[in-house]
Structure 1
Amino acid sequence: MSSPTLGEQPSPAASEPVVPAPAPAVAAIVTTGSQWSDAEFTLRALAAQDYPRLAVLVLCDAEGEQGLRVRELLPTAAVADPVSFRRSRGRGRQRGRMGAVNNRGASLVRGADYLLFLSDRVALASDAISILVDDAENVPGRIVGVAGPKLLDASDGLTLRDLGGTADRLGVRIPVAGQDELDQEQHDEARDLFVAPTEAMLVREDIFRIVGGFDPALEGDGAVVDLCWRIQLSGARVRVVPSATGTVQSDAAPAAHGPSARQHEHRARLRTMAKCYGWVHLLPAVMLAAVLAAGEVVLAALRGRFAQASDVALAWLWNARHLGGTFALRGAAKRYRRVRDADLRRLQQGGSVRVADWFRYRLSPEGGLAARTTIDESILGTWRRNAHRTVWVVWLGVLGLIAFGSRHLLTGGVGAYGQFAHFPDAGTMLGAYLDGWRDSGVGAAGIGPPAMGLLGLAGAVLLGGVGLLRNIAIWGLVLAGPVGMWRLCATDSSEDGPSRNGRLVALVLYAVCPLPYNALAAGRWDVLLAYGTAPAIVLLTSRLVGTSAARPPRDGSRRGTAARLASLALLLAVVAAFEPFIVVLAAAAGVALALVELVRRAPRREPLGAPVAGLLRVAVAVALAAVAHLLWLFEFGSLRAFLEVSLGGRTSSTPLSLGELLRFQTGPLGDLPLSWGLLAAAAVPLLVGSGGRLWLAVRGWLVALAGFAFAWVIVAGWADQLVSSATPELSLAEVSLAFGAVGLCWAAAAGPATLATADSDAPPRIRSAMVLLSGIAVGAMVLPTAWASIDGDWSAPSFDHRVPLGLVDDRDVGPDYRVLWLGAPEVLPLRGSDLGVEGLAMGMSVRGYPDIRHSWATPQAPGDERLANAVRVGLAGDTLRLGRLLGSFGVRYVVVVERSGPSYTDGWDRPVSAAVSEALASQIDLRPLAADPSVQVFRNEAWWSSRSQFSRPIPVGFAADPVDLVVSDLTDGIGVLTDYRSATSQFGPVGAGTVLVADSYDPGWRLHIDNADNAGAAAVEPAPALGWAMRFDPPQAGQAELRFERSAVVSNRIAAQVLIWLALIWVAIGQPTPLADRLAALMKRSTR
């Protein structure tokens, strides 16, 4: 090889003969594709080269047909199987990336001075290699690292295809030749450029080794820009020699797998900038690239080009995942850098060429006219070109409506009103389930509600983010409903099931149903839960019954059926932990679906065993869900007691009419006649449908009728005989309406497809009338909800009672006490029990405002009934010393709630009667406190702490008769054990004298007292007191801890219940799911 230096070489002696230096050795590395005709095109041109020292290496399937043909055509060529060919399950042989393949070829070459990288679509002229080498060897100035030819179109030999180019500061390649530019010798001067032609370039071998070759992770133009940039950093030049020519064939079809070329380009630009720029130029370039990428993602999404938006985002994700390798290559580039960034900028174009071109086109007369007049250039036209984008439009509209109507609740947060209680920390919620003691009411031993265990576990999974968990529990259900409806309508076959438009109709109708927004206004979390999960329950039930198609199991039908059965059981178990009535509704839906299938099969004389077997599977799933809560039911002692507690205490004072039920008018929404639109839309398929779609509509209607039937039975009072002490009215009726909404939307989903195929079955006028009716019905449902969204909070309270009632919360400081809450069930901030007095309910919280632990129905203890009797006596006016009666329960404050929110915000008014207000005001030991008009607050002047110690003796049988409390003043009791750690552990000093604890008696409590004079500790067992509570008689004074020790029976029940749940989870999700497969595919795509 000639010397790369610029100095004069000494002349040989005149007497010595002149021996010409041998020509530099050139190794041509040809990468082939799948078509032999392309490789033959390139190899024949190489065989005709006039360069004397040329070796050829062809990278192809060396042992296959291509390898044999290469040897026949060019016997001197070497053939190698590049390592980048790899096997992929289900895809056969795949090509590796350009950088990796070329590096493999370069590693097989020995003794070459130049490497000629060629695509199999390029045929060089016979003198092209000689011209390139001559220019690289003899051009004055710095050494040439890369030299490229002029490439013309093979079809005509006149159109310029590649003549190298430059790049902007973000690494975007800018070709010298314009698109379809003709060769008129306008570019025939050899010159330095930033980038060589992609498909044919001569690279100096020693420079190639110094810079580390191609980046094996890059492809196409990005790999060439990266290599040329790094070669110039090393001090070498990149030149294009137009006198060396070649022709290139038209581009082959792109590969059908892997990331797109656009994603490869974005990957390469970011990776090249990160490697080649110094820090001074890198940071502004990356910031500019990030801004442009964000703008491109947003603009592409608005224009419906989701593939483009995804490619840009995934390119950034890919670079983030490969940041370590990029920094390693950046360190290598620093070692061979000889040129500053500022010196290279003269060969680059400033700014971003993509942005400049976009604005140049928009501001040009031609581009501006096209932007204004061509619908394909408009956002709306882009959506119209693809039917799939209509789905995105509707989904964005639905999500936008929900977000717009909930904007004040989303920004200001959902207050703690109704059932939307505050969440304590995850440990407290887990303790409410695992500690073996429930502090609701007057306390009781036993396992806690399973819902508390699920919420505590979820809070732990979220790393203690209980605020996020609360938002998910509310807004996640609002969104889960439409998603579940979309999935439900996708389960039927394409011939008999809903069309895409039908799914969109069902989605819109379910999203604009008044039910969830009325639930938000009233703080009805049980209704939101039913709304969010009912579509999924109906979906899994229909799959078990056999009325909806399901994907075949991957490993046998038996395990697949078990997994589907366990999935329904697990879902029902989770939902039933919060609303037990959902199990009854799921069973009713299964009966409805099986009945439709039996009626459909009977006239055809098809076997009836399948729907019967499906109904049995649903029954098993319901039974398994019940078994998951069986140990919690044991805490109630009997099924009747469970029903009395779980169904009572939530009776509303405003029963609904049948018309209101059918319009879902459970709150502010649904009062307009337009709300009948859902029923009208669901009726259309019944009127004009036939075949499978008619049966789909019938299935939906029967599910809806089941939901409406339960709601009407409850509202009409026909279910009063089920339990003797509770009237399950509006609360459970609203839960039932969720299944009514699912059924109607499911039936309406068959409408578009039914109308589209009704040409031969219905007269044109009838069909046109039905189409018009359907459109009016859907619009009628949308309009009221859209109008109600204007206020931004669905008429829900913007604030709760925590601020007005801050005086009843001691922030866990001071003696222990309770707060008694009275009012209508729907406005109380906790789960109350029915008092049987003018529709009032009663509940108790510990140390201030209640949280989610006080939201569940729990078994009634003897003390709870005594407390209820005391309140009834006081409200009836039979005593003026209600404070003394309540003092024995540790009640310090009595709060009467008459509105769901404070007076200065939206809410529901539920005032108590004048008789109740007068009865409370007449009590001589209840002092009224100034408070917001929405509540009445009384301070109990006869209160003594629920952990009080008395210096005077307390008789053992004291207060067995409540009359003893009325005539006795116990306010001299001193509050002890004031260091409140949890419901089962309180610390503090105690002295001599009886300690009364106003919790239900249980032998599991112990009072542990440390003696300063004795290293040991005394453990005092409780004794019954007050007819329901406990007393401790400490033998000594000292630091004490009141601690509850969970019994072995409770521990065994908790362990058994956890094992049942784990078994359900293992069977339900013990095999791969389609969602898991999709996530794995997405992650694989982003890491390529």
Structure 2
Amino acid sequence: MKLRPSESGTPSEAAGEAPDVLPATVPPVVVVMVTHDPGPWFEETLESIAAQTYADLGVLVVDNASDDDPTERVLAVLPEAHVHRLDSDDGYGAAANHVSSLVEGAAFYLFCHDDVAMEPDAVRALVEEGFRSNGGILGPKLVEWNSPGRLLQVGMGADKTGVLSPYAEPGELDQEQHDSVRDVFVVPGACTLVRADLFEALGGFDDGIDYLGDDLDLCWRAHALGARVLVVPAARVRHLEALGERITVDDRRRRFARHRLRTSLVSYGLWHRIRVLPQALFFAVVEALYSVLAGHPEQARDVLSAWPWNLRRQRDVRARRKALATARRVDDSSVREFQVRGNARLNGLIRGQLGRRDDRVRQFARSSRDVAGAFQSGSRQLTGVFAIVLGVLLVVGSRDLLTGDIPAIGEFARFPEPGRMLGSWWSGWSRSGLGGAGGQPTGQAILGLLGYLFVGATGALRQVLILGCVPVGAVGAWRLARPIGSARASVASFAVYLALPVPYNALARGSWSGLLAYAASPWVILLLGRATGVAPFGPARLDADDPEVKVLHRRRLPGLVLSLGLILALVASVVPSFLVITAAVGVALALGSVFCFRVAGVLRLLVVAFGSIALAVVLHLPWSYELLTAPSWWDSVAGVGSTNGGPLSLGRVIRFESGPWGAPPLGWAFLVAGVLPVIIGRSWRLEWAVRAWFVVLVGWGVLWAGQAGHLPVGLPSAEVVLAPVAAGLSLAAALGLASFDIDLKAYRFGWRQILSVAAALGVVLGAAPLGAGLLDGRWRVPAGDHLTALDDVLSIDGDRPAHRVLWVGDPELLPVSGWRYDDDVAYAATDRGEPTVLDRLPEAPPGSTELLVDALRVADEGRTNRLGHLLAPMGIEYVVVSSRLAPSSTTITGQVPPPESLTDTLAQQLDLAEIPVTEGLLVYRNTASPGTRSVLPKREGERDHFTQAVLDDLADAAPALIHEHGAVGARGEVPEAGDVLISQTYDSGWQLRIDGVPVARRLDYGWASTFTTSRAGDAELTYETPFTHRLASVGQIGLWLVVIVVRRGVRRRERSAAAAAPPEQMSEETSEEMSEEMMA
């Protein structure tokens, strides 16, 4: 390799010469650094090159007309470097292209900026991977200059219009999550290794691109030639990004737009230009319109000016396109496979492509009342557009969840086959914990029936019931505001409810209960509003000057109770605590009415609220009786996934920031929209705004009190509490828009008009962070779950003896619904292999389950170091301690380390062997466990207490009845005569037959069933469901059918009455008289 004498430009007089002979063991590499007035960091950059461990490395510095000659600075650190100075600054690409005339014999060129610092092995890592993977263009991992632990880039994708899509978020903490070599579409130009022959075949960089976009152009054309473009994270380079100080934001945006379009014009063939360029123009126009509406006309000008700029250079573009077509080896369709799907332009806008202005309000203040009128007329279209954008955002942001699998995190348990769910409900025996008889969760029957409606596709049913909650809630918000009579008010309610972070935090945290509450809350408030009969939900207190409001008939109480009762019963089948939430909402609305001195309809409201709750409780008998009569009934109803004493501050509660969504400052923006009707509203708009805010304030207050530990009991998950708060805020926003239309005209121009515009902007700004959902397409739901790592632990297939798994840890991180062990830890036990939704539905601790707590306390108090022996008769073969929601959880709410006292206690047990599985899980195997069904070894003495299990060595017990049969039974061989232990709570319904002959049953260990047999043989274990349970189940089915039929009949009569007698507007006195008659 030689550096040729300069043939153009002015060579440096003090330039050094490269050695004539270099080691032949490695291919020669030339570092090509383009400089332009480098800053004080330059020596550190040069020192990083001098420190490279690569043997055959030359250095060419091309100075782009710097004011001060950098030669002395270069040679002081790199005495053998060659410095080539140019008379004019023609851009980075044109300067870098001089390497072709100045260097010969190099195998690779390493193009880099003058503000990078390479790790000593960076060049070696890049070259080695180039040979290993036959790479044409390779780039390193770029990290921040001052914070090397944070990422800048690890390669980028690009959509069909050339908009870049980074694989790592700038500033993302480097935890080696991107440390695998992979093909990318673009490697950033700060440091790029290019094979010399490929560089010559490409004709070098595009001279028409001075700064920004040269990397996209070079890599795109390399793909067209069939070369591989790779990112090599083992090569680590710090980047100062000093170009941001040399080029203004506007100039950078303008150059990006121009060069992106130029690259598309050069790189695409005729067919793809016809297909893609109209789309690019459309997106440019949309971006320009958005920029104008957002107060950034300069952004619109820069985006649109890219088209005439490129049209003026069509001759040069055609020449470059022709040259590429001559060398092309890969067609456009194949190149498109390397690009990201969809359109990344919106992502670019969200990440800050739009400029900032501080004078939005100033321009508004220059006008007078006409501005408000103009805004009012224009907002009709903008409101609808915003709602459509949010709807599209919801679909696009959920694309991975819609097309892929939702991980089994938190409450997102997988669904078993429908027959198993119905069989479990019908059996009357709970397999949770240590098992027990009683009424089973109604949700088992409902989900089983839905599974059959989905033709057994329970996976699809699961996705519908999880993801479908969001649109159902949004439609409910639309319907909640529909009585207001303004389509824009409905759209505003829809948009605000959809933009609030409640459902997205619920998705990210695996809170199905939160999603169900989100789906139901607007419908609950709507029916409670209709119960009042007060305008706009009824004729009472309807003003004669409200032409937009649709006058409604007063709904009769039975129909409202039946409708709301069915909704609550369906939600409570999974989230029984929602009944208590509904009661709180009803009381809050009533208090709001009293605060407004409007008591009309309050009694009806309370009757419907508590009547529907009572109906839902009755519909769930006998399960609801089991919950309400449990010793810790509140824990059974609300679950132990409690937020009591949790991490949410008052600010996070108000911003709905229960998870990764809702961060400040934009998280506060929704409050402006919600407070608007309280300030400018009149008549029923003000009254209902006050009622809505009482719901909001009560919800916030209760959740904050629970978080601060001021409540005697815990609360359900934060999203369950926040869902009706979000519905109340969306109703307030809709009332604000109605007040804007009706009430604002009564005020002189001033701060109220400014506040109205701020409220609209607040909704838009509050929703802006949701645009980040476009990046991952899954609302930050973890990509995986722990169940894959636990396959061996959970498997019950084949000839393996049946066994239980004891789950211990933070209640919100367990994959099953558990019970409280202490303030910080919950426990649960499963015996059906992989946990399913059957293990997630709330139950009181069945049978002798609380003995698990007693066993853990014995070990925790230091009274034994053989906990495994105590757990062995219970069938516990594994103890799993969870500290993460999923393997990839990094948020505060997604990882909670277990108490040290718990882990220390488990580590001290002699019969618990730790098994390495995955980060976030501690797994111990019980070496003393015989499984859940086994023949006990003989020993003298009674087994009348669970602590006597320490005297037994059950590890050698012979497994029996290893095959599951039916909902709760088993089949298989009993290998020898003796005592067959069944690790289920003792119950007379358990029957064992060996070769068809019944076997006598007795109580062992004070809780379990043991069958003493004098023979071996094929056996069958069954549970004989009590007749009373069958009768109660049939009665429950009949009650549901009766309520559904009666409700349909009532609604049919109401519609007929409404059609026959159009309502008239009534005075307040008339409505109160009617209310008293109906209550009587």
Preserved contact between residue 384 and residue 491 of structure 2 (Cα < 8 Å):
no
Determine the structure 2 residue equivalent to 1:810: 795
Match runs of 1:166-315 below 5 Å? none
One-letter amino acid of the counterpart of residue 422, structure 2: L
Deviations 1:146-186 (CA, angstroms, capped at 9, x unpaired): xxxxxxxxxxxxxxxxxxxxxxxxxxxxxxxxxxxxxxxxx
Change (3 A) 1:540 1:758: closer
Preserved contact between residue 570 and residue 1068 of structure 1 (Cα < 8 Å):
no
Determine the structure 2 residue equivalent to 1:649: 640
Change (3 A) 1:601 1:479: same
One-letter amino acid of the counterpart of residue 577, structure 1: S
Determine the structure 2 residue equivalent to 1:1002: 987
Match runs of 1:97-176 below 5 Å? none
Deviations 1:294-335 (CA, angstroms, capped at 9, x unpaired): xxxxx9xx99xxxxxxxxxxxxxxxxxxxxxxxxxxxxxxxx
Which range is displaced more, 680-689 or 905-914?
905-914
Determine the structure 2 residue equivalent to 1:908: 894
Which of 800, 812, 817 in structure 2 is aligned with 1:831? 817
Determine the structure 2 residue equivalent to 1:509: 496
One-letter amino acid of the counterpart of residue 425, structure 1: E
Distance (whole Å) between structure 1 residues aligned to residue 738 and residue 1053 of structure 2 = 27
Distance (whole Å) between structure 1 residues aligned to residue 1023 and residue 398 of structure 2 = 44
Deviations 1:9-58 (CA, angstroms, capped at 9, x unpaired): xxxxxxxxxxxxxxxxxxxxxxxxxxxxxxxxxxxxxxxxxxxxxxxxxx
Name the SS of the counterpart of 2:868 in structure 1.
helix
Preserved contact between residue 889 and residue 895 of structure 2 (Cα < 8 Å):
no
One-letter amino acid of the counterpart of residue 894, structure 2: W
Distance (whole Å) between structure 1 residues aligned to residue 393 and residue 905 of structure 2 = 47
Name the SS of the counterpart of 1:999 in structure 2.
strand
Please say if 1:970 is aligned against 2:954: yes
Please state how far the C-alpha of 1:889 moved relative to its aligned partner.
Answer: 0.8
Name the SS of the counterpart of 2:622 in structure 1.
helix
Distance (whole Å) between structure 2 residues aligned to residue 759 and residue 550 of structure 1 = 22
Please say if 1:593 is aligned against 2:589: yes
Determine the structure 2 residue equivalent to 1:747: 732
Name the SS of the counterpart of 1:936 in structure 2.
strand
Please say if 1:921 is aligned against 2:921: no
Change (3 A) 1:1076 1:897: farther
Match runs of 1:401-550 below 5 Å? 401-492=393-484, 494=485, 499-547=486-534
Determine the structure 2 residue equivalent to 1:782: 767
Name the SS of the counterpart of 2:640 in structure 1.
coil
One-letter amino acid of the counterpart of residue 688, structure 2: L
Determine the structure 2 residue equivalent to 1:891: 876
Which of 559, 566, 572 in structure 2 is aligned with 1:570? 566
Determine the structure 1 residue equivalent to 2:610: 619
Please say if 1:867 is aligned against 2:852: yes
Please state how far the C-alpha of 1:1025 moved relative to its aligned partner.
Answer: 1.0
Distance (whole Å) between structure 1 residues aligned to residue 924 and residue 1055 of structure 2 = 56
Change (3 A) 1:862 1:1054: closer
One-letter amino acid of the counterpart of residue 858, structure 2: V
Preserved contact between residue 903 and residue 932 of structure 1 (Cα < 8 Å):
no
Name the SS of the counterpart of 1:1043 in structure 2.
strand
Distance (whole Å) between structure 2 residues aligned to residue 938 and residue 640 of structure 1 = 30
Preserved contact between residue 501 and residue 661 of structure 2 (Cα < 8 Å):
yes
Determine the structure 2 residue equivalent to 1:682: 674
Deviations 1:571-611 (CA, angstroms, capped at 9, x unpaired): 11111121122112222222333444456565xxxxx5643
One-letter amino acid of the counterpart of residue 590, structure 1: G
Distance (whole Å) between structure 1 residues aligned to residue 535 and residue 741 of structure 2 = 22
Distance (whole Å) between structure 2 residues aligned to residue 791 and residue 875 of structure 1 = 43
Deviations 1:349-396 (CA, angstroms, capped at 9, x unpaired): xxxxxxxxxxxxxxxxxxxxxxxxxxxxxxxxxxx9999987764443
Q: Count residues with an aligned counterpart.
A: 669
Distance (whole Å) between structure 2 residues aligned to residue 502 and residue 815 of structure 1 = 61
Please state how far the C-alpha of 1:884 moved relative to its aligned partner.
Answer: 0.9
Deviations 1:432-455 (CA, angstroms, capped at 9, x unpaired): 211111100000012211111111
Determine the structure 2 residue equivalent to 1:982: 966
Please state how far the C-alpha of 1:507 moved relative to its aligned partner.
Answer: 1.5
Determine the structure 2 residue equivalent to 1:1042: 1021
Q: CA RMSD in A?
A: 3.1
Change (3 A) 1:778 1:644: closer
Distance (whole Å) between structure 1 residues aligned to residue 1054 and residue 779 of structure 2 = 33
Alignment gaps of 5+ in structure 2: 1-281, 287-375, 540-551, 1057-1080
Name the SS of the counterpart of 1:780 in structure 2.
helix
One-letter amino acid of the counterpart of residue 761, structure 1: A
Preserved contact between residue 680 and residue 744 of structure 2 (Cα < 8 Å):
no
Change (3 A) 1:938 1:976: same
Distance (whole Å) between structure 1 residues aligned to residue 664 and residue 554 of structure 2 = 50
Distance (whole Å) between structure 2 residues aligned to residue 559 and residue 543 of structure 1 = 7
Change (3 A) 1:737 1:1034: same
Please state how far the C-alpha of 1:887 moved relative to its aligned partner.
Answer: 1.0
Name the SS of the counterpart of 1:1041 in structure 2.
strand
Distance (whole Å) between structure 2 residues aligned to residue 1001 and residue 660 of structure 1 = 48
Distance (whole Å) between structure 2 residues aligned to residue 842 and residue 601 of structure 1 = 49
Which of 573, 584, 593 in structure 1 is aligned with 2:580? 584
One-letter amino acid of the counterpart of residue 567, structure 2: L
Please state how far the C-alpha of 1:967 moved relative to its aligned partner.
Answer: 3.1
Deviations 1:902-958 (CA, angstroms, capped at 9, x unpaired): 158888221224443332222221111121122111111111121111353575x31
Match runs of 1:375-390 below 5 Å? none
One-letter amino acid of the counterpart of residue 815, structure 1: P
Identity %: 35
Determine the structure 1 residue equivalent to 2:362: none
Determine the structure 2 residue equivalent to 1:943: 929
Change (3 A) 1:551 1:612: closer
Change (3 A) 1:741 1:1033: same
Please state how far the C-alpha of 1:700 moved relative to its aligned partner.
Answer: 1.6
Name the SS of the counterpart of 2:388 in structure 1.
helix
Distance (whole Å) between structure 1 residues aligned to residue 1000 and residue 1041 of structure 2 = 37
Name the SS of the counterpart of 1:857 in structure 2.
coil
Preserved contact between residue 538 and residue 554 of structure 2 (Cα < 8 Å):
no
Please state how far the C-alpha of 1:782 moved relative to its aligned partner.
Answer: 1.1
Please say if 1:771 is aligned against 2:767: no
One-letter amino acid of the counterpart of residue 437, structure 2: A
Distance (whole Å) between structure 1 residues aligned to residue 401 and residue 1053 of structure 2 = 34
Please state how far the C-alpha of 1:844 moved relative to its aligned partner.
Answer: 1.0
One-letter amino acid of the counterpart of residue 1006, structure 1: Q
Distance (whole Å) between structure 2 residues aligned to residue 394 and residue 747 of structure 1 = 18
Distance (whole Å) between structure 2 residues aligned to residue 385 and residue 1073 of structure 1 = 39
Determine the structure 2 residue equivalent to 1:633: 624
Which range is displaced more, 1067-1076 or 507-516?
1067-1076
Name the SS of the counterpart of 1:1022 in structure 2.
strand
Name the SS of the counterpart of 1:401 in structure 2.
helix
Name the SS of the counterpart of 1:1008 in structure 2.
strand
Distance (whole Å) between structure 1 residues aligned to residue 474 and residue 826 of structure 2 = 34
Determine the structure 1 residue equivalent to 2:77: none
One-letter amino acid of the counterpart of residue 965, structure 1: A
Change (3 A) 1:639 1:973: closer
Please state how far the C-alpha of 1:537 moved relative to its aligned partner.
Answer: 0.8
Please state how far the C-alpha of 1:862 moved relative to its aligned partner.
Answer: 5.2
Name the SS of the counterpart of 2:894 in structure 1.
coil
Distance (whole Å) between structure 2 residues aligned to residue 510 and residue 776 of structure 1 = 15
Change (3 A) 1:618 1:903: closer
Distance (whole Å) between structure 1 residues aligned to residue 466 and residue 860 of structure 2 = 36
Change (3 A) 1:609 1:774: closer
Preserved contact between residue 596 and residue 687 of structure 2 (Cα < 8 Å):
yes
Please state how far the C-alpha of 1:776 moved relative to its aligned partner.
Answer: 2.6
Alignment gaps of 5+ in structure 1: 1-298, 304-383, 603-607, 721-726, 1011-1016, 1078-1088
Distance (whole Å) between structure 2 residues aligned to residue 986 and residue 935 of structure 1 = 30
